[in-house]
Structure 1
Amino acid sequence: MRGPWQVLCNALTKNQEAVNIMKKGIRKQLGDGHETLFWHDQWIQETPLKQAFPRLFRKALHPLASVASMRAGTNLEEGWEIPWSCPLRPRDQREFSALRELLKEARFSTGQPDQVTWLLHKSGTFSVNSFYLEMYQNSQTLLSEVSRKMWCGLVPFRIEIFVWLALLERINTRVKLAARNIIPSSESNCPLCSSAPEDTSHLFLHCPFARMVWVWWCGLWDLSWVWPLSLEAAYAQWSFPCKNQFFQKVWNAAFQVIIWSIWKERNSRIFTNLNSSAQEVQTMVLLRLSWWIKTWKDPFPYSSNEILRTPQCLSWQVPRKKVQTQRLPTPDKLTWVMNISPSPAQRNRVIGGALFSMNGEPWCAFSCLIPYMDDCSAETLAIHRSLQISLNNVRFRSHQIEIESHSKEAVSWCLNPGNGPWNLQFILNFIRSVGRRGLRSRIKFRSLPTFSTTDVINSLGLSRKSDTVVWMN
């Protein structure tokens, strides 16, 4: 046998699971019994007689005898004549009695040759489909448990397919290409580290470059990970000990995004000769996560830039629906009150804001560190941040949002096209376009704020060194 079938058969004989399926499915159907081995073939039960009766097999005078040669005569009623190499002991006699009872079930077809049948198909003929279905049912670790985590729609479908093929080790790594004589074996080393042959496990897990990406991601969440031998085992173990369902989805998606980002970097080095550092790949992991999270139905309030600055915001938790329906009646007006202050180092400024209901109850607060700038520019950035949070929360689409600012000039910039400094035009255009995005909002000047933002921010103990959003409802 030559060609691809030779490679396939060699692979199957090295796979113990495939060997067991072949043994389970193959059975000899008796004709005249001349082509069936009495002790070695499966012809009367699911296991050969040498395994069912090992003591008798060891004392058999002719271990390679055919079934026909063991018959005492031409008629089945005349019994069986099995020669032994030595007399049978009492225990052997008991085993021989069980064998004789079993042999009473034998049925011959005189004048017909023996045939091989395949028990896993109703026709008795071997088919690749029946063999695959049996392997599928037996492959519990990968094809059932892992697949339940895999196909969740957290990343684009083509990336789910790629990661699935990687788990099955079906992607064209250099080791596989060299085995098929597509590239010389001397070129099979990993393009990311050049220190070992590039197979699936090395490329995505054990390569020093890939290891830096995994260590960085686990380090964001103060987690240590024991590196498994295969990518399949890695995905089976990939879980985070928390009850936050949104972050569980982020954690699952992160595995697929990291695999995809490593593969993109590998291809970039091979086909375009462009190398990126591990830090740049880490940035792309966060960016891809932020892009694809936006396709989920969760009202995630953070932008891509905020995720890049503070990756821990990915642990955001979906607000409870019961509280939302009780405390967000449709007629209420919601009011954002801005707050700006210098940081202790005086090199930066801190902008903040708090969202209040009509009765003065705080619902949300944010704090954000920005470069040092004038009051009007800082106030504009605070208005922009409050609108971003409002737009990303679908609960606010049916409410009137008012934004109070104590900077008359900043309000003028936001309301009048063409006003404002050139370097803030992108942000100002976003502020002016929120009405077209489905948010009913109004920005107004108020020298004395309706509610105290500083008290809310200080009572929550918001960090003045990083971006923070806190929901109280």
Structure 2
Amino acid sequence: MKWWWRYGQETPNLWKEVVNAKYGKLDNWCTKKNTAPHGVGPWKYINNMKDDFFQEVSFRIGNGTSVKFWKDKWLLNIPLKDSHPRLFLIATEPDSTVASNRDGNIWDIRFRRNLQDWELGEIFDLFKSLERFPVNSQTPDSLKWGESSKGVFSVKASYNRMNTIDVLTDPWPWKLIWKTKLPTKIKCFTWTALKNATLTLDNFKKKKIHLVNRCYMCQKESESVNHLFLHCPVAADLWHMFTAILGISWTIPYCLKGAVESWSLWKMNETINKIWQMIPACIFWCLWIERNSRCFDGTSTPNCSLKSKCLVNLFSWSNLSPVNDVIPLLDFIGSLSVA
């Protein structure tokens, strides 16, 4: 977002000329969107933040030559096309700038036809707002960040704002992954699984790679992230093993994200809480390793051995040491009970 702020606020310099030459200049505030199916570059990824950035900014009007009268946010907290939709529909030039809707010091808004009686109240409200709005033709237009009077962008303010939005729209417990003692590659894999991005056969189909879609674990249902890690009989057996050890009753949710959210809602005592947080990732990883073994090597592990591997991995990750003796492992399993 910082680069979008710099692009709109800074005077022309070398880096802007390079970006404009490669991607094309849309207006004074942003470049054209890169729609090429190939190529990698920093600005291509910065472009993905453009919509989020312009939701948080408005415009300070100077001479009005760079701000769109109807489509940009400058007079109210929303664009005029949203606050006065009926007037926008009959505007002569929907893409006109603020300056083009003025004649000297007078507002001169043009429409394609004469206004109807029921539209007069709306135009009166618009002119009432406009007559209180100062216009300085001697200064250029500029960006304003957020609701503060200074309106200056900062990375900290942007970060806090994005976190606030994420909490409201996506309140799932990310700490269940990143704030554990799991190895880094297990954390990354779990995150990928929750984003439905693991290379299961249904995701291959989305990439237009067509293969016979059958679960390698049960050989009955089609393979998907939700089926492989939750509803496959092999996966369900692992989940039931842990619920039996812990002494709890739990219904497996429909989707993977819902399962992690539901798992995090249990209130555990401090002695096993950190181990509890690692159980979903442990199950996911063991199932994925077994799935790939059956897919690429043609070898399968009995369910009882798969359960043992899962418990051994959980013990190793929670104690940050390998299993050298069966006694500590049995004590560890016994300590998991919450009943």
Which range, TM-score by smaller chain? 0.5 to 0.7
158, 161, 174: which one aligns with 2:188: 161
Q: Is the 8 A contact 1:253 1:289 kept in 2?
A: yes
User: 2: distance between equivalents of 1:261 and 1:79?
Assistant: 69
Which of 1 and 2 has greater Rg? 1
TM-score normalised by length of structure 1: 0.49
CA deviation profile, 1:238-291 (whole Å, cap 9, x unmatched): 147455222222321212211111111112112221112333322222222233
242, 245, 251: which one aligns with 1:225: 251
CA deviation profile, 1:184-231 (whole Å, cap 9, x unmatched): 3124543224555544333222334323322332244241224142x2
Provide the alpha-carbon RMSD of the alignment. 4.5
Residue type at the aligned position of 2:72: D
In structure 2, the CA distance between the partners of 1:234 and 1:57, relative to structure 1 (3 Å rule), is same
In structure 2, the CA distance between the partners of 1:132 and 1:239, relative to structure 1 (3 Å rule), is closer
2:108 equivalent to 1:80: yes
Higher strand share: 1
TM-score normalised by length of structure 2: 0.65
138, 151, 155: which one aligns with 2:178: 151
Residue type at the aligned position of 1:225: T
Q: Secondary structure at the match of 1:271?
A: helix
CA deviation profile, 1:343-396 (whole Å, cap 9, x unmatched): xxxxxxxxxxxxxxxxxxxxxxxxxxxxxxxxxxxxxxxxxxxxxxxxxxxxxx
| Deviation at residue 149 of structure 1 after TM alignment | 2.8
2:270 equivalent to 1:245: yes
Name the count of aligned residue pairs. 290
User: 1: distance between equivalents of 2:197 and 2:168?
Assistant: 17
In structure 2, the CA distance between the partners of 1:305 and 1:133, relative to structure 1 (3 Å rule), is same
Give runs of aligned pairs for residues 416-427 of structure 1, distance below 5 A.
Answer: none
| Deviation at residue 48 of structure 1 after TM alignment | 0.9
**Gap runs ≥5 in structure 1:** 318-473
User: 2: distance between equivalents of 1:207 and 1:63?
Assistant: 58
Residue type at the aligned position of 1:66: S
In structure 2, the CA distance between the partners of 1:225 and 1:122, relative to structure 1 (3 Å rule), is same
Q: Secondary structure at the match of 2:336?
A: helix
2:282 equivalent to 1:257: yes
Residue type at the aligned position of 1:270: C
48, 66, 69: which one aligns with 1:38: 69
In structure 2, the CA distance between the partners of 1:34 and 1:241, relative to structure 1 (3 Å rule), is closer
Give runs of aligned pairs for residues 263-302 of structure 1, distance below 5 A.
Answer: 263-295=288-320
| Deviation at residue 30 of structure 1 after TM alignment | 6.5
| Deviation at residue 91 of structure 1 after TM alignment | 3.9
Give runs of aligned pairs for residues 54-453 of structure 1, distance below 5 A.
Answer: 54=85, 56-57=87-88, 60-62=90-92, 64=94, 66-67=96-97, 68-71=99-102, 73=103, 75=104, 77-83=105-111, 84-87=114-117, 91-92=121-122, 94-101=124-131, 104-108=133-137, 135=162, 138-140=165-167, 146-180=173-207, 184-195=209-220, 198-220=223-245, 221-229=247-255, 231-239=256-264, 241-295=266-320, 303-305=328-330, 311-315=333-337
